[in-house]
Amino acid sequence: MILGIDGALAHHPGGIRHSLFCLTIEILGRPCCLVAEPGGFVGAGLYIHLMQMIGWLMIALFVWLFHGPWLTFKRAVDAEDWPSAGATLNRIRQIIAVNLPLGLLVVVIGGSGRYWG
């Protein structure tokens, strides 16, 4: 398990799915703590702003992917409408082809950002 938390998650009263959900909310909520502090992101470097902006764009793409093409794909597979499922799967690939490089760009920005000056 990530970060060696498998033991803590296994014994969580809400089960492992609830534990992972709470952990995700905790990790995603951390940037919000910066906004709550006096000054917020004002003192943050440009690379932090870029990573935050790209991250929100990636989240929006994923939400659109899940609630649009993925559900359409799932319904087509359940109905055994293979041509429609194939067309929808192609749309899913296109969205992922945009989202994956954005994620790699965030990694590059995060890794090199402190050297930007």
Query: Which tokens in the block code for residue 56?
Result: 């929100």
Contact assessment for residue 109 and residue 47, using Cβ atoms and an 8 Å cutoff: yes
On the CB side of 24, CA atoms within 13 Å amount to: 6
Contact assessment for residue 103 and residue 58, using Cβ atoms and an 8 Å cutoff: yes
| 58-114 pLDDT, tens digit each | 999 999 999 999 999 999 999 999 999 999 999 999 999 999 999 999 999 999 998
| 11-62 pLDDT, tens digit each | 556 666 666 666 666 666 665 555 556 677 788 889 999 999 999 999 999 9
| Domain locations in the chain as residue ranges | 1-41, 44-117
| 70-79 pLDDT, tens digit each | 999 999 999 9
pTM: 0.66
- The C-alpha atoms of residue 110 and residue 44 are separated, in whole angstroms, by 13
Contacts of 24 by beta carbon, 8 Å cutoff, 6+ apart: none
| pLDDT of 44 | 86
